[in-house]
Amino acid sequence: MDSLSEQLEEVRSRAEACLSSPCSAHEVRAGVCAMANLPLPPSAKYQHISAEAMVKENSTGNNKKEIIGSLQRLSTALNILEKYGSNLTSSSRPKYWRTVKHNNPVFRATVDAIKGGRAVLCLYGYTNQQADGLSFPEDVQEPDLQKVPSVTLEVMSLRMELDMLIQASHPHPEFFESLVPSVFQQEEKMLAFPSDAPWEKEDTPMVAATPSKTSSSTKPTDNCTICGIFPVSAQCPVCVQRLCSECDRLYHSHPARSSHSRIAVAHNKPSKSISASLSSWQCVHCTTYNTMQEVLCGTCERPRLASTAPAASSNPQEAQPSTIAEWQCKSCTMVNAGSSVLCEVCERPRLATRPPAAPSRPAAPTLHLRDSQWVCQFCTYANHTPSSVCEMCDLPRPEPAPLPPKLRTPSPVREFLQLSIKPKASPTEDPDAKRQRLMREEGLKLIQLIREGERKGVSPEEVYASVRVSGDTSVMPCNWLKAELPRLLDEICARAALALPDHRALQPELSGCSNGSQEQLSRGVQLSRDEAKRAWLAAGGDIERAVKQALRERKAKMKELSALGFSDAARCGEALRQCGGEVRKALVMLQRPLLEPFHQRMWSNQPEPSINIHLPDKQRVCRRLLAVYDLPSWGRSELALSLLQDPTAPYTLEDVVQAVRESHDRDFIRRVLAKECPICLSVFPHSKMQSLTSCQCSVCCGCFKQHFTIAVRDKHIRDMVCPVCWEPDINDPEHLNSYFSTLDIQLRECLEPEVYELFHQKLTEQALIKDPKFLWCSHCSYGFIYDGDQLKVTCFHCRNSFCAQCKKPWESQHTGLSCEQFQSWKRENDPEYQRQGLAGYLRDNGITCPNCRFQYALARGGCMHFCCSQCRYQFCSGCNNPFHTTCPVIQCSVTGLHAHHPRDCLFYLRDWEPARLQALLQKEAVAFNTDTPPGTQAGLCGVIEQKVGQQTDSACGAQTQPGQAGLCEKHYTEYLVSLINGHSIDPAPLYNANELLLACRRYQVEEPRREAEDDRTYYSRLLKILMDNVPLGDKVPRKK
């Protein structure tokens, strides 16, 4: 025993290691098989599970077959428990391994149906009892990887031992004899049974219960293969049958077997063997002796003639086969399985022969018919015409069998004399033919009545029942049904109503009904005419059988309704009566009052009550979530409920439901429900965050609305970008249209109506400024498209006029004059213009946006970077070149916001002294002003300019210098540069050497110095190359 215990421990440790590690299934099965084959009792082999108690408590039944069935159910349950253990020991455990649900149909039918199944689950670790199943405790994070493989190994070993017991292949069944003794009991039966007949007591020998040794030495009884009673008298080599004389006559009377030749068999057995064979028969499969009255073996339940003993013949080819896999019915020729006793088509016994066409005659009738007559082998109808199909069943006529040849050896089969048919002048009608003729006539007449009824809407069942009840075939069934059927149906209903005892027996739930229901039920079963009619048709017109049939059907329907939760028998019976016995319609009628409160709540104006997540009935809350919010599955509703009940994360019901619809991952849902707004730093769910299509940033709905409301009201259309990353770049025309098309859809939902209308107005103006005919009003800054040819334009908004070319307010003196002529006239004749002097000149020649052509009456002094307030275009006010962060010049190495200025731009010339600029103008013979205009304030510059931090424009106010026309140095320099730009004067001739080399590097002019070339010659040649290759700015304003 010690060695076996050590061997058990070694096998257990090796098998548990295979279960704990990722081994192959073959290795695991080998370890389980080694443990199951150990010669130890279950009490010593199984340490965790109570194997003996499980086998003993689950092996129930009255006989061996029922006990084996219960052991098979136990094996199936152990198979499911084995899968639970395998999932826990696997490295990739399923997602919901912590719980086992009771509502699982597989669990209820297997593990929960046996005794000890939940105890095994507790050994696995499922010790926490819940309302809907078992689960691991909350503090247990992982299963016990030492105990679970050990329990799983014992479950697998016990299941393998049970399978070997069921298949009778267990190597040590003696350990289970005390647990399931019925499986190992041998059925000891004697050949002779107690009988009062003295001849049977004397002639019956005693045979041992296990005839395995005696049967080999004693010669078996050679009886008939078919009946098994009488001795064999002939053997047919074609059919491979050994038959007695009577069975041989009946079996070979069939036309298909009438040509078989038989061999006579002689017998030397004493007469006592016949009496022994009459009392019992031996099953050749399990060698059990059974009584002659038993058709199936009591041990193996095989049919009596499933296989026969080999015939006593020296030739092995003539021996009877040991098993019969299938047999052919002798009545309908249907081939049936070898284990079936009755035919599947005609339900005749296996040993029954086809009834002869004329049973009173000793010989087969088919051999004595005339040439024109033949008997159908399917319906046994005698046809009198030489047709190829039967007149009754329309089946084909078999081929005529040849006459039997003369037997080679004398056969003991009884021979019958062939009766010769003598022709008579007036032969009498054959009784069998008369019977078939009458049967055919009645059948044809019934078919005619059925067809007539079908034309009038009467079913064949009604026609047959009416003919059977009336008994008069001359009466039309349709007329009889109209006249007599209502009375019969009422009689059936009345008899059912009087069947009080049967009704009480059919209504076991009567005790739970109220007094009114009991009084109503005491009147009996109230049937409808539809129920009575169906029962009458099922009974074939018999009223008594129809009443019983109706009561049985009503009982089954009442039980079905009771199983669905309707226990009031009176209401169920009334509903069935009103619905004609249809359960589905009765169920709808019974459910209608129950749904009435729901319908009233649905059609009422009161709001739907909110879902209370703190109800103790969690399944009710989950069902409500499934119904109201249309969640995908039951698991999603449980996940939503668990998130709502989490005290650390207070989520709203709508946010949780929307997140659960998108995903089933709890961690992902928590991230979705906890998004931080980068502007207000508050936490919101993903559904309350908004983002633009141009970036990945997300802000809350409140910040999104506030940002774009301020941008639409107070800023330009190009400021409507992401408030976090300030994307996209609105200056890119390719992305502009697609961005604003998607932004329009988002702003429509969140902005106020008046703000959204202002957004559309600015968007429209942004699109219109690209049209060359678009004009800005100089009075009210209103934009519109002008298609006219005249210079005078009237604004549609303020009704004031201005010039379409110079954009100045319209004056009557402008009529008939060009813009230059009108400016010259104002300088010479307008006192106000003369008083302003060069300040008015700088204002009139202010800044014009090169993108939208909006004019600003401002000086260019100060920063040259200008941003248009209308279109947000950034450009240089001196040369109109754009400012950008992504430079289109490949050779440019400057990063950040910058622009590329030509050499005649104010950006470079503003650093020159006024005297140097005057010298450049004098060189080109361009007149310039140096005197202060009369009427201006002395000492202060009056040029209007835009100042940072002020809402309105104001005068410069800087100190003026003598000889600078009453302007400060900055604005006087701007005046001189405007004259240089107006006359397209190149400032390069006044460059010194350093300025010339710097300009060549700036504009990438590379010219090496020649040999023996002096500085003056090199600089002159370099200046000429610069002026020829690098032109002046093409966008510089050239107003004179």
Residues labelled as active-site residues = 863
Structure tokens at 19: 């279960």
692-699 long-range contacts (CB < 8 A, ≥24 apart) are 692/721, 692/722, 692/727, 692/742, 692/743, 692/746, 693/739, 693/742, 694/721, 694/722, 694/727, 694/728, 694/735, 694/739, 695/722, 695/724, 695/725, 695/727, 695/728, 697/722, 697/724, 697/725, 699/723, 699/724
> What is the Cα–Cα distance from 240 to 251, expressed in whole angstroms?
13
Q: What share of residues in the chain are helix, strand, coil (percent, to 5)?
A: 45, 10, 50
Q: What is the dihedral of CA 918, 922, 926, 927, to 10 degrees?
A: 70
The answer to whether 965 touches 930, Cβ cutoff 8 Å, is yes
Instruction: Report whether 254 contacts 240 (CB < 8 A).
Output: no
**Residue whose entry in the numeric block shows the structure tokens 């709508």:** 654
Cβ(173)–Cβ(161) below 8 Å: no
β-partners of residue 264 are 234
- The C-alpha angle with vertex 134 and arms to 131 and 139, in degrees rounded to 5, equals 105
Strand partners, 223: 231
Q: CA–CA separation, 813 vs 829, rounded Å?
A: 11
In angstroms, rounded to a whole number, what is the distance separating the alpha carbons of residues 581 and 527?
Answer: 8
Cα-Cα end-to-end distance for the chain: 124
Two structure tokens written together for 758? 């202002």
Separation CA 481–CA 405 (nearest Å): 60
Q: What angle in degrees, to the nearest 10, is found between the helix axes of 477-498 and 529-538?
A: 110
Rounded distance, CA 956 to CA 942, Å?
Answer: 6
* Token pair in block for residue 733: 């025309």
DSSP string, 138-160: TT--S--TTHHHHHHHHHHHHHH
C-alpha 1033 chain-centroid distance = 69
Round to whole Å and give the CA distance between 238 and 405: 14
Round to whole Å and give the CA distance between 38 and 11: 9
The C-alpha angle with vertex 595 and arms to 592 and 601, in degrees rounded to 5, equals 140
Q: How many CB atoms lie within 10 A of CB 686?
A: 17
CA angle, corner 305, sides to 302 and 310, nearest 5? Answer: 115
Q: Please give the C-alpha separations between residue 278 and each of 23, 173, 215, 293, in angstroms, as whole numbers.
A: 62, 37, 18, 10
**Closest C-alpha among 165, 55, 19 to residue 11:** 19
Q: How far apart are CA 765 and CA 1034, in angstroms?
A: 28
CB 232 within 8 A of CB 265: yes
Look at residue 921 and give its three-state secondary structure: helix
CA distance 76 to 65: 17
Alpha-carbon dihedral 936, 938, 940, 943, rounded to 10 degrees? 20
For 323, the token pair is 């098993």
Nearest to 657 by CA among 624, 702, 690, 680: 624
